[in-house]
Amino acid sequence: MRRIGELQPAPRSVGAKPPRGVLLAGPPGCGKTLLAKAVAGEAAVPFFSISATEFVEMLTGVGAARIRDLFQRARAAAPSIVFIDEIDAIGRERSMGGDGLNVEWEASLNELLVQLDGFDEASHVVLMAATNRADMLDSALVRRGRFDRHIVVDLPDLAERVAIFGVHARGKPLAPQVDLEKLARRTAGLSGADIASVVNEGALLAARRRQQTIGVGELEEALDRVLAGPERRSRLRPDEERLRLAYHESGHVIVAWMLNLTSIVEKVSIVARGHNFGSTWHVPKEDSQVRTRSQLQAEIASLLGGRAAEDLVYGEPSSQAQDDLRQATSIAREMVFDLGMSASLGPVLVDSGQEILARSDRAGGSVAEAAEREVVRLLETADGACREVLTAHRDELDRLTHLLLERETLDRGELEAALVGLEAQPALEAR
């Protein structure tokens, strides 16, 4: 990276104005603060870092005074970089009224806006800020001329996760059998901070086991700990509950296997971890942010597979399906309210945050009511698909359940051996 002043040609020579502010937005743990520090280090200029929460005080005027002092010091040390972490603490959208704390917060925000307007080409001060909630920021703060660059620091893709594993594994004695790319494929959706935690947890496990190297087993266990929590083998369960749990997790596996999801079942376990009595881990076939309607419907069916298996075998579901239902309902609501994937409503974006009274559907109710009915229909359709799959493959369900009950945990190779000959069917069609 070039130092400030080494850029050729200089921006002014072509009539360009350097950006005043850079907003880094993205999920937690993706390296926004680290990126800002790296920019300051590469630019070789003074770096003033502060958290936005330090500007918020009950005493009126304290926050605004701190902002003025910060920018005065930055201008005195120019060229320099000012970095404000968690800027949403003072930069969120303003509203009318409020208590004394809100008055002080708004005064701090107004002072920050004034200071940003005070930047000129000769000040040589750049403001960088980071937030996890860019949608909450005040429009006056994020407009062009204040924050000229909006940079999304998103969750890493496969190649980036492999590189991050390499960074955190540097200097650690990894066993020759460790395949960082295979680990990276299992960590889709994890942030850089999560990956760092996986490597460190693997090192701790190796140390506890008095090993000289960090092996595959330690890193796999560390990943399971990060994803689902530590094992709780001390929590003994009655044999009947363990059998029901094995049917529940096997139902997830069979439905996911048959509906040809965009992910592959990597492992299934009936060992309690964290708040979960059992777990089924999926690995995406490829890193993709785009999912079709049929793929989302198949994902809902996979989540409902455990509940459907219990209902098929025991005649009724249990409380073990609570988290599955929450996730399945969330996906169904997203499809109907946010993605326009309702067959009956058509390509309509239903804003669930506003009351909809003007439009009516053919049944005479509001659009919001029709959308809620469509959510229920999607869930019922997915539940029906689960029952069809599990009824048709009851023998495989029983066989996998008893194998899982015997071994407690099955990896992908063991699942493929247990379900050999079971061919996936086309993805669930929209109905």
Report the percent of the chain where pLDDT is more than 90: 24
The structural domain count of the chain equals 3
pLDDT (mean) for 421-431: 54
Alpha-carbon gap, residue 396 to 401, rounded angstroms: 8
Residue 75 lies in a domain: yes
CA dist 28 and 133 (Å) reads 10
Reference 55, options 26, 24, 22, 82; nearest CA is 82
Asked if residue 318 is part of any domain, the answer here is yes
Q: Write down which residue in 181, 206, 228 finishes a domain.
A: 228
pLDDT for residue 86: 87
- Which of 120-129, 258-267, 373-382, 418-427 is predicted least confidently? 418-427
Neighbours of 411 (CB within 10 A): 15
Q: Which single residue is written with the structure tokens 């920021």?
A: 137
- List pLDDT tens digits, range 16-25: 777 778 899 9
pLDDT for the residue numbered 60: 61
Q: Is 380 a catalytic residue?
A: no
Residue 5 domain-assigned?
no
94 and 174 in a single domain? The answer is: no
> Which of 306-315, 333-342, 356-365, 404-413 is least confident?
356-365
| Local structure of residue 80 (DSSP, 8 states) | E
**Does any domain span residue 431?**
no
Say if 4 falls within a structural domain. Answer: no
What's the pLDDT score for residue 208? 92
Q: For residue 68, tell me if it sits in a domain.
A: yes
CB environment 141-174: b (16+ within 10 A), e (fewer): bbeeebbeeeeebebbeeebbbebbeebbeeeeb
Listing from the earlier edge strand, what are the strands of the sheet with 409-411? 279-284, 263-269, 409-411
344 close to 370: Cβ distance less than 8 angstroms: yes
CATH number at residue 248: 1.20.58.760
Which 3 state secondary structure label does DSSP give 17? coil
pLDDT at 275 over 90: no
Residue 313: pLDDT over 50? yes
Average pLDDT, the chain: 81
- 165 and 271 inside one domain: no
CB 58 within 8 A of CB 101: yes
Report the DSSP beta bridge partners of residue 24.
Answer: 130, 151
Residues 335 and 408 in one domain: yes
Task: Give pTM, 2 decimals.
Answer: 0.76
Q: Which residues contact 408 (CB under 8 A, 6 or more apart)?
A: 269, 270, 271
Question: Are 366 and 357 within 8 A, CB to CB?
Answer: yes
Of the residues 98, 128, 152, the one at which a domain ends: 152
**CA dist., res. 126 & res. 48, Å (int):** 10
Q: Which of 147, 153, 19, 4 is nearest to 84 (CA)?
A: 147
CA–CA–CA angle 372, 347, 189 (5° rounding):
75
Residues 146 and 165 in one domain: no
Is residue 218 domain-shared with residue 247, that is, in the same domain? no
The CATH number of residue 190's host domain is 1.10.8.60
Q: Is residue 424 part of a domain?
A: no
Kindly state whether residues 244 and 380 are assigned to the same domain.
Answer: yes
**Of 174, 203, 228, which marks where a domain is finished?**
228
Q: Is the backbone peptide bond immediately before 9 cis, with ω within 30 degrees of 0?
A: yes
Residues 78 and 24 in one domain: yes
Residue 43 to residue 313: CA distance in whole angstroms: 65
Residues 218 and 288 grouped into a single domain: no
Residue 83 has φ and ψ, to the nearest 5°, of -120, 125
Are both 403 and 272 inside the same structural domain?
yes
Same domain, 271 and 401: yes
In a domain, 423, yes or no: no
- Distant-in-sequence contacts of 375-378, Cβ < 8 A, 24+ apart: 375/329, 375/332, 375/333, 375/336, 377/344, 378/297, 378/300, 378/332, 378/335, 378/336
Catalytic residue among 111, 201, 218, 249: 249
Do 165 and 143 belong together in one domain? no
Looking at residue 431, its pLDDT comes to 40
Burial of 102 (0-12, 13-18, 19+ CB in 10 A): middle
Q: Do residue 311 and residue 164 come from a single domain? A: no
What is the domain range of residue 193? 158-228
DSSP letters, 307-326, are: HHHHHHHHSS--GGGHHHHH
pLDDT for 397 equals 92
| Per-residue pLDDT, 354 | 42
* pLDDT beyond 60 at 362: no
Report residue 379's pLDDT band, with 50, 70 and 90 as the boundaries.
very high
For the stretch 197-240, pLDDT in tens is 999 999 999 999 999 999 988 998 898 888 877 777 666 577 88
> Which of 5-14, 98-107, 311-320 is predicted most confidently?
311-320
Residue 248: Cβ within 10 Å count? 26
Residues 101 and 56: beta-carbon distance below 8 Å: yes
The CATH number that applies at residue 46 is 3.40.50.300
